[in-house]
Amino acid sequence: MLYPGIIRKYRDDLPVAESSIVTLHEGNTPLFQSIRLVKELNLPIQLYYKLEGLNPTGSFKDRGMTYAVSKAHEAGFRAVICASTGNTSAAAAAYASRAGMLALVVIPKGKVARGKLAQAQIHGAKVFQVDGNFDAALNVVKEVAEHPKVTLVNSINPHRLMGQQSAAFEIVESLGDAPDYHFIPVGNAGNIVAYWRGYKAFHEKGLAKKLPQMCGFQAAGSAPIVEGHIIEHPETVATAIRIGNPANWKAAEEVAIESQGFIKAVTDEEILSAYKQVAQLDGYFCEPASAASIAGVIKMAEQGFFKKNASVVCTLTGHGLKDPDQAIEQSPAPIHISASSEELLKLIKL
Ligand code: AN7
């Protein structure tokens, strides 16, 4: 049978008229077990990556966007609008094109990874850039969304988080239960809230016996929740989570408390190190923001945090190809040789 996307898979949780469903068959992403990274770093855990970069537009945003755009289509809106550090705009543009709607996108100038901008553009979104960060862009779109033909598809839109819960459902289906710990990057803090709601919903239905501790990670230069105040000028190489005033701040703090987890920070150095390690040891290329979750696992393991053999899921939120410039910057330049095998063989040790 053709996999139908999350709305048709979880029909009771995501109500919308059948004729309004806008899907790119998102979801059903693999849960992929770390073999070499856990071994090399001596991590005493069963570590799984939820590969959200394998969604149709290359990030977890597709789960929320299929539902938000379907509901917008059902309600008869002409256009969707979002502010974005990149992935939301890529997903909004793709789903709007599928729905025959207009996507309006407002981004912080110069701070959106190239792959994401390319996606918004090729799907035909109208892309605007502002001098200022994500938070400034969000203020603009909130005002435009007051227009009767336009609706907001940032994660303030409750349909987004309802769709994103589906990732937690899938994890429980894959493992047969919730994991002991769930590690996740935090930007606007919507995803951590969505996962928790998803785990709780399956727990209440008796489909999961336990609930995970939710462990969120912000980038140290953009860590308003950790520092307890708005960051006026957030900075981090992980541009996806370069957010100084998260939309779901309060709700995320409640999740950390209720799940007996926490929200902490990892430095750009730790993020980039994890980014390279998962690519070079486990063969998976995620974007820098996604690696914040793995950096968090490594950091907590160093502090002896985990009980032995605990199951840990890390959400790898977006594909590495989203941000090719960062990958190239983190790697040695290609070695120039004359077109000869001899010269190549002289330069390597086998
Ligand atoms: C790869 O696209 O906010 O904590 O505008 O793209 O739910 O915000 C992206 C966020 C993590 C943080 N990883 O998730 C946007 C945007 C990646 C992301 C996050 C984002 P939230």
Task: Give the pLDDT confidence score for residue 157 in this predicted structure.
Answer: 95
* d(CA 34, ligand 1 centre) in Å: 23
DSSP secondary structure of 180-232 = SEEEEE-SSSHHHHHHHHHHHHHHHTTS-SS-PEEEEEEEGGG-HHHHTS--S
**pLDDT reading at 1 higher than 90:** no
Give the residues surrounding ligand 1 with Cβ less than 6 Å away.
59, 61, 84-88, 155, 185-191, 240-241, 287, 289-290, 317-318
Kindly report, residue by residue over 268-286, the tens digit of the pLDDT: 999 999 999 999 999 999 9
Task: Give the pLDDT confidence score for residue 197 in this predicted structure.
Answer: 98
Task: Give the pLDDT confidence score for residue 83 in this predicted structure.
Answer: 96
Parallel, antiparallel or unpaired: strands 45-51 and 79-83: unpaired
Closest CA to 288 of 95, 91, 108, 85: 85
Probe target for ligand 1 pocket from 130, 241, 243, 278, with the most ligand atoms within 8 Å of CB = 241
* Mean pLDDT to the nearest integer, 242-266: 97
DSSP secondary structure of 254-276 = HHHHHTT-EEEEE-HHHHHHHHH
* d(CA 231, ligand 1 centre) in Å: 17
Q: Is 155 exposed, middle or buried (0-12, 13-18, 19+ CB in 10 A)?
A: buried
Task: Give the pLDDT confidence score for residue 135 in this predicted structure.
Answer: 86
Q: Which atom of ligand 1 is nearest to the CA of 116?
A: 2
| Angle, alpha carbons 95-100-101 (nearest 5°) | 75
Average pLDDT, the chain: 97
Task: Give the pLDDT confidence score for residue 191 in this predicted structure.
Answer: 98
Give 337's pLDDT tier (boundaries 50, 70, 90).
very high
CA-nearest residue, atom 18 of ligand 1: 240
* Mean pLDDT to the nearest integer, 241-268: 97
Probe target for ligand 1 pocket from 62, 65, 85, with the most ligand atoms within 8 Å of CB = 85
Phi–psi pair at 129, nearest 5 degrees: -125, 145
* Mean pLDDT to the nearest integer, 217-229: 98
Of 131 and 1, the one with more pLDDT: 131
End-to-end CA distance of the chain: 46
Kindly report, residue by residue over 138-162, the tens digit of the pLDDT: 999 999 999 999 999 999 999 999 9
CA 167 to chain centre: 11
